[in-house]
Structure 1
Amino acid sequence: MADYYSPTVIPEVIPDADMTKLERLLLTHMFESDSDDDGTYFYSGEGPSDVIWVQRSELTAALEASRGIDSQIFSYVEERIAKISSDEDEVELDLSGTSWEFILRDIVRRSSTLRYITVTTAFTCSKMRSDGFGGMALFITADEIKGCSTWEFLSDCLAEIAGGEDQE
């Protein structure tokens, strides 16, 4: 069996003041992170997590502290936590219906210091499989999320060659 990985790095240190408590809590569970003065550096050796486990008290406190701040993830998490039994101390939160990219876009949208956030991801595999290697880059601004994979780049190059052959 082959294991697929997607190591991911967000090179910009994101100011803690630019993130809501909820966004920071979720991102630190989806990614590994290091504090850097007044900001956080996010990365993941195997790939960001879509399903995370969070202490209910910590999640509830982060939701309350983030109430009224423009963030798409707020209502998403609020809806999910309302469906979870109140006697659970630790909450399993499935974030596969949304994306960390949208959390980052909301952070840029509100930030007075960040104009963009970049993300690079490598695609690797424990076996030498043709579909197990490559990568992608994202460029996230307040208005959009642009991305390109290595496969898209190579497809564009092949299309250029094919187009050039038709013209001869």
Structure 2
Amino acid sequence: MTCLQTKITTYPALPIVDISPLEKLILFKVLDCAEIDGGLELYTDTGPMNPIVVSRRKLMEALDTSDQAKESLLKRFVRERVLSILPAEDPDPESVVFIDLSEFPWQFVVQDIITRSSTARELVVIQWISDPSQRPDTFGASVSLITENGVFYATSEDLLADFRKRDQALASGTPNGDGAPRPHIDSVVVPPDNPNNTVDALMMAERFVAGFEDDEAQEGITDILAGLRAAIRRERLRPVLLDALKELRSAAIGFRDDGYRRAPHLSVGNEAVNMLSAFLLTAERIIAEAEGQIHD
């Protein structure tokens, strides 16, 4: 059996004042954490733990504490997916509760903290995975950037593949008829392939307008650039959002089919079934429009 070694380091530290008791309890169970100068550092030399085990008393104390995160996603997850399946009759406060975070990874807890925080803007996560054998095919790394806008992730293989694309782009552009190098080739500005042509067009427009940034005769350049750059960020997210919607559609179909198998008496008049059917219809329409299957 392969015994992988996993090490995770993150920066900067998360402000303690922005972390709720429940979030702190969960993070300390998932990772090794340290409080330093008003911040919470997240790290581990053994990999994140899942599922985690907490006592019912500590969980309820953290959940019932009045704090700024009373409507946090983590609290909702614990109430709806953990407490709802626990026996309610005469519970032992010292009994243990197993919490499976497969559907709510610790990165989502961090993202919720950053979204509420007035000072924290991002958390960088660097992870190494290796095998004691140290064979080339048994180790790798990944990097994540967690912001209020999303959790962005890439493996070392993803990055190497991108570097190879850039290298190929440079190699194919080197000859210039007479063998002289082509001008204006810079590996830093060679973007990775993007299937969204709108992004390419917006990037070309942004580079064109940026050429007038120092021209005092031109007005409104700063606002135009800000708008273009915001549009580029939104368009880059569209494929990610579409993939997420497809996954939600698959999950909803699975839940619906499982519900029919477990309770064949469910009918169209059932409110939950109606809501699920409405969501599926909307999802199908949005996916079809995004993939060009529906035209105005």
**Shorter-chain TM-score above 0.5:** yes
- Cα deviation, 1:27-73, whole Å, max 9, x if unaligned, reads 00000111213222111111111211101100011111167634211
Contact 1:21 1:66 in 2 (8 A): no
Residue 10 (structure 2) pairs with residue 10 (structure 1): yes
- Greater strand percent: which structure? 1
Check if 1:147 corresponds to 2:156. no
Q: Hey, what does 1:69 align to over in structure 2?
A: 70
Work out which structure has the larger RCO, using CA pairs closer than 8 Å and 6 or more positions apart in sequence: 1
Q: Distance in 1 between matches of 2:86 and 2:5?
A: 30
Q: 1:135 & 1:4 partners in 2: Cα distance? A: 12
* Alignment of structure 1 residues 3-152 onto 2, 5 Å: 3-65=3-65, 69-79=70-80, 80-85=82-87, 86-87=91-92, 89-152=95-158
What SS class does the counterpart of residue 163 from structure 2 fall into?
helix
Say if 1:66 and 1:77 are closer, same or farther in 2 by CA, change over 3 A.
Answer: farther
Of the structure 1 ranges 76-85 and 153-162, higher mean CA displacement relative to structure 2 is found in 153-162
Give structure 1 stretches of 5+ with no counterpart.
none
- In terms of mean alpha carbon deviation, does 5-14 or 117-126 score higher? 5-14
Q: Structure 1 pair 74/66, CA: closer, same or farther in 2 (3 Å)?
A: farther
* Residue identity matched to 1:73: L
> Percentage identity across aligned positions?
27
Deviation by residue 1:106-129 (Cα, 9 ceiling, x = unmatched): 000000111111111111112234
Distance 1:92 1:158 in 2: 44
Cα separation, 1, equivalents of 2:53 and 2:66: 19
Which letter maps to 2:39?
G
TM-score (norm 1): 0.88
Closer, same or farther in 2 for the Cα pair 1:11/1:165, shift >3 Å?
closer
| CA RMSD across the alignment | 2.1
Aligned length: 168
Q: Helix, strand or coil: the match of 2:138?
A: coil
- Looking at structure 2, the residues matched to 52 and 69 of structure 1 have their Cα atoms a distance apart, in angstroms, of 22
Give the letter for the 1:150 counterpart: S
Structure 2 unaligned blocks of 5 or more? 176-296
Aligned-partner residue type, residue 151 of structure 2: I
